[in-house]
């Protein structure tokens, strides 16, 4: 009888620990109903999407982005929008003025 009680207590403790571990706030990646791929010109047609882009894409993201193409993911109305554009389009969209394009360094050949 003692063994049965001990097994029941151990089972309840195990269930409590497992449920506590799942309620810790670990959430899976949000799943979207659909994914829309479009250019920045097409994104300007939807005012709500424009606001979402302004809220989720910062000027630093554009300035410190790697090589082209410039592609950013924006969540809006339960969908994932993949918005692409050139560096100049993104800079004019975010109204960043006076930023020169990245300089490509050419290899110098020195002949003796």
Which residues are registered as beta bridge partners of 86?
none
d(CA 48, CA 29): 23
Residue 53's Cβ-count burial label (10 Å; 0-12, 13-18, 19+) is buried
Binned at pLDDT 50, 70 and 90, residue 102 comes out as very low
Cα 83 versus chain centre, distance: 12
Break the chain into its structural domains and give their ranges: 34-93
- Answer for the pair 37, 84: CB distance below 8 angstroms, yes or no: yes
Tokens of 10: 């151990």
> pLDDT tens-digit profile of 35-76?
889 999 998 888 888 888 888 888 788 777 777 788 899 998
What does pTM read for this prediction? 0.57
Percent of the chain with pLDDT over 70: 70
pLDDT at 23 exceeding the cut of 60:
no
At 18, which helix (H) or strand (E)? Answer: helix 2-22
Give 57 or 106, the one with higher predicted confidence.
57
């Amino acid at each position: 009888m003692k063994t049965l009680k001990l097994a029941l207590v151990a089972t309840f403790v195990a269930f409590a620990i497992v449920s506590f571990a799942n309620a810790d706030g670990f959430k899976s990646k949000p799943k979207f109903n659909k994914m829309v791929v479009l250019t920045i010109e097409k994104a300007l047609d939807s005012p709500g999407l424009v606001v979402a882009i302004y809220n989720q894409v910062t000027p630093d993201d554009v300035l410190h982005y790697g090589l082209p193409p410039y592609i950013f993911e924006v969540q809006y109305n339960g969908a994932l929008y993949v918005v692409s554009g050139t560096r100049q389009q993104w800079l004019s969209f975010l109204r960043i003025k006076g930023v020169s394009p990245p300089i490509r360094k050419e290899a110098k050949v020195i002949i003796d």
